[in-house]
Amino acid sequence: MTGLASWHALLAPLPGGAAPTRKPVGSPDVLASPEGAAIAGWEQLTLHLAAGQAGLRFLLVVLDASARPVAASDHVLFWSAGERPSDPRQIRQESIGGRLGEDGSFSGTCWLTTGPEPENDDPPQWESTSRQPTAAEAAALLALVAELVARAP
């Protein structure tokens, strides 16, 4: 992570005062549609943590109609200056996300995306790699889910 902001890390403990927001998983129009009926009553808990221009962390937990967590993700996005002032800013995103089983298990993916920030309307030229999460990463995400649910309004 050389040269990139490191004010926190993926799967890091939450700050003491951080509280998620709670809202439906879909818009009223979607939830009123026949297709939306399957997710009626489902909610999402989201938490955004920011450090100015240095980075952003976004956590998401999806709760089904019985308030059971069914999916979760943790994303950390960092920006850093290029080596020369004329270089575009570099982006690094670390993420973990997937499904939560009724038995408390986690099935998902970790991925890392890096590259220069696109300029103007240029298409992104990012490189992305994925891998299976370790048991420790899955356990850390499950602990974050429990903490986010406990802090939910």
- The reply to whether 98 falls in a domain is yes
Q: Is the pLDDT of residue 94 over 80?
A: yes
- The reply to whether 129 falls in a domain is yes
- The reply to whether 88 falls in a domain is yes
- The reply to whether 39 falls in a domain is no
- Residues 137, 1, 53, 72, Cα dihedral to 10°: -10
Instruction: Report the pLDDT averaged over residues 77-90.
Output: 77
- Tell me what the pLDDT averaged over the chain comes to: 87
- The reply to whether 130 falls in a domain is yes
pLDDT digits (tens, 9 = 90+) for 107-143: 999 999 988 878 778 887 889 999 999 999 999 999 9
* Helix or strand run (H / E) with residue 115: strand 106-116
- The reply to whether 62 falls in a domain is yes
- The reply to whether 18 falls in a domain is no
Domain span including residue 62: 46-118+125-151
Number of domains in the chain: 1
What does the DSSP assignment read for 26-93?
S-HHHHHSTTGGGGTT-EEEEEEEE-TTSEEEEEEEEE-TTS-EEEEEEEEEEEE--SSTTSPPEEEE
Q: Specify the pTM.
A: 0.84
pLDDT at 5: 44
Q: Are strands 55-63 and 69-80 parallel, antiparallel or unpaired?
A: antiparallel
- The reply to whether 27 falls in a domain is no
pLDDT digits (tens, 9 = 90+) for 25-34: 989 999 889 8
- Position 51 confidence tier, pLDDT thresholds 50, 70, 90: low
